[in-house]
Amino acid sequence: MDQIRRLSIAFSTLSILFFILELGVDHPAYVDDLLLDFHLVTLFTGLLALAGKYRRGRELPAKQVRVFDAVLTLLVLWLLSGLVIPDFPEHWWWFPGKADYWISLFILILLVRELSLIRFQINRTLINPAQLFIGSFLLLILLGAFLLMLPRATYGSISFADALFTSTSAVCVTGLIVVDTATFFTPLGQTIILFLIQIGGLGILTFASYFSYFFKGLTSFESQLTISDIVSTERVGEVFSMLKYILVITFSIEAISALLIYFSLDGMAFENTYQKLFFAAFHAISAFCNAGFSTLSNGLYEEGLRFNYGLQLIIILTFFMGGLGFPIVANLSNAIRYAFFRIIPVFRKKVIFRSRLFNLNSRITLVTTISLTILGTIFMYVVEYENTLAVHKGLGKVVVALFEAATPRTAGFNNIDLTQLGMPAMLMTFFLMWIGASPASTGGGIKTSTFAVAILNIVSVARGLTRIEIFRRQISDNSVRRAFAVIALSLAVIGTGIVLLSVFDGDKPLLNLAFECFSAYSTVGLSLGTTGSLSAPGKIVIIVIMFIGRVSTLAILIAFFKKARAKHYTYPTEEITIN
């Protein structure tokens, strides 16, 4: 790595740090001019480092990288021209907003461009994928806590414990809050929370791995194995195509959702268009990532939104897609595309016939998810008809009942007053929170596939079968063992959390404390109003449970237990008395 490149990385890192401090800390006016000069020097140094990659004798990057570099260079030069040339025509300047923001954005892109070229080999003998995954979340949580403590991020002072709690809740896409997001955090603080939700929902390694592959065009087999464990794909050769698909699906759904939310807010009063756009983007990202954060104090139960059924359906569809899991969404989109081309006569002969559009994992997940949603909606509609649904009429009752059945499965948004739920609905909420979303998704819980395997195993045992068969496929014994390990570990973590909270916050109702633990473990974010009044030790308990629920108990065990070698022998088998 030559000197210009080293200098560019150092300057860019300092420039991003200065920009964050410039936004979050009060400072004299003359500091802005000094920082602007430093940012411009950094930007110019970054362009020199970028140009150095194309000097004679060097192998040219891939075509897609060359196009990216050309567009980036033109944009940066145009931005610098408008800032440096005294008589630059104003009508040629088409960068909206402040120039400082665009400068920092381009510096960040150049920094990512440089860092992505650093050769990073993952040695699986020293650090396994689970340790790397957990470490990335811990690093992001700590970074988020310090960012939320910036003076301009809040309207008042915030303690490190509350900042850590908020950062953990955002990164773990939970949604539990100890301070009101709407009134306590400034637009800067809410933006920080939004970025933490987005990066936490997808995983920081997803972004880092894809950018590294995009700019370098190759990676080691060890790194591919590690990332394949993280993105839950069985074929190592499809690792980076899956990463690309995850990013495209995520941003596409979030963009469409944000537009739909924006046009469904006619009844809400906003000071300006920017606030309306920010509200739409914030709730689209929060919904897809199943975070449950809202910029309104009462969430979707706010006066102007509780009867906005169109908005609620958009939110439901968004967090439903986020909770399905990326492999399921990919399988679903491929099946729809295949069916579409099979219908059109022109393309019918060109499409290779497929006997199975959905793999076993997709079938089980979709059937379980749809079944839980339908049954949960019917149950909520019946038991809450004269209670929380009483103020709604006709189709509105169905939409609100659907929302009540769908949001406990890790979405975390509320369109009713949860404290008014009857006991049957409350118990159903506990059950749905515990199950959670689907594997390889932005949601938590034991997962729908785990619940399905457990039910199928119970049915098989009752029928006297020695194996589990469904859809003309046999579920492996390893999947059954993992499912029951996840169930046992989830109950152990939740039970331990309830016991600890009853010790530290024994003055609060046990039902409320149990609700907090279930919500934290499944990264749901629903609360009966107890979170903010928890003691300091109680908040730490919830922080730990949220973190365990996001990274999963099995991942934590795998991270600290050395993997046993395969044994090429078997002991005699004996039956153990059960029940």
Residue 317 token pair? 């569809």
3-state secondary structure of 389: coil
Separation of alpha carbons 139 and 73, rounded Å:
32
Closest CA to 196 of 131, 248, 142, 252: 142
pLDDT digits (tens, 9 = 90+) for 374-399: 999 999 999 999 998 989 888 989 99
pLDDT digits (tens, 9 = 90+) for 295-315: 888 888 888 788 889 999 999
pTM, to two decimals: 0.85
Sign of CA dihedral 465, 470, 476, 480: negative
Closest CA to 251 of 283, 285, 221: 285
Query: What is the chain's mean pLDDT, rounded?
Result: 81
Indicate the residue type of 195: F
By the 8 A CB rule, do 519 and 431 touch? no
3-state secondary structure of 125: coil
Residue 525 has pLDDT above 80, yes or no: yes
Separation of alpha carbons 21 and 32, rounded Å:
11
Closest CA to 52 of 69, 74, 75, 76: 69
3-state secondary structure of 154: strand
Residue 490 token pair? 């989830």
Strand partners, 469: 474
pLDDT for the residue 236: 45
Residue 543 token pair? 């922080």
Burial of 496 from C-beta contacts in 10 A (0-12 / 13-18 / 19+): middle
Residue 433 token pair? 């929170």
Strand partners, 470: 473
Q: What is the mean pLDDT of residues 152-181?
A: 91
Q: Which residues of 287-314 are buried (b: 16+ CB within 10 A; e: fewer)?
A: bbbbbbbbbbeebbbeeebbbbbebbeb
Q: What is the mean pLDDT of residues 197-222?
A: 59
Task: Quote the DSSP letter at residue 466.
Answer: S
Separation of alpha carbons 337 and 344, rounded Å:
11
pLDDT for the residue 259: 94
By the 8 A CB rule, do 212 and 219 touch? yes
How many other CB atoms are there within 10 angstroms of residue 350's CB atom? 8
By the 8 A CB rule, do 344 and 338 touch? no
Residue 563 has pLDDT above 70, yes or no: no
Closest CA to 199 of 153, 158, 246, 151: 246
Separation of alpha carbons 285 and 255, rounded Å:
9
The gap between the terminal CA atoms of the chain, to the nearest Å, is: 66
Tell me where in the chain the CATH 1.20.120 domain(s) lie. Answer: 3-115
pLDDT digits (tens, 9 = 90+) for 472-500: 888 888 888 888 988 999 999 999 999 99
Specify the CATH number of the domain 3-115. Answer: 1.20.120
Q: What is the mean pLDDT of residues 113-129?
A: 60
pLDDT for the residue 54: 74
pLDDT digits (tens, 9 = 90+) for 21-66: 888 887 787 787 788 888 888 888 888 888 877 776 666 766 777 7
By the 8 A CB rule, do 179 and 158 touch? yes
Separation of alpha carbons 464 and 215, rounded Å:
55
pLDDT for the residue 240: 56
Q: What is the mean pLDDT of residues 162-188?
A: 91
Question: How does residue 237 score in pLDDT terms, banded at 50, 70 and 90?
Answer: very low
Task: Please count the residues of the chain.
Answer: 579
Burial of 497 from C-beta contacts in 10 A (0-12 / 13-18 / 19+): buried
Separation of alpha carbons 356 and 347, rounded Å:
19
Percent of the chain past pLDDT 90, that is, above it, reads 27
Closest CA to 148 of 129, 173, 170: 170
Sign of CA dihedral 382, 386, 389, 393: positive
Separation of alpha carbons 519 and 526, rounded Å:
6
Closest CA to 175 of 536, 516, 416, 534: 516
Radius of gyration of the chain (CA): 26
Question: How does residue 468 score in pLDDT terms, banded at 50, 70 and 90?
Answer: confident
- The lowest-confidence range among 149-158, 347-356, 496-505 is 347-356
Higher-confidence position of 466 and 517: 517
Separation of alpha carbons 117 and 132, rounded Å:
20
Alpha helix stretches (DSSP H) within 85-128: 99-115
Residue 103 token pair? 């400068």
Residue 221 has pLDDT above 50, yes or no: no
pLDDT for the residue 191: 92
pLDDT for the residue 225: 47
Closest CA to 489 of 459, 521, 449, 458: 521
> Which helix (H) or strand (E) covers residue 484, if one does?
helix 477-504
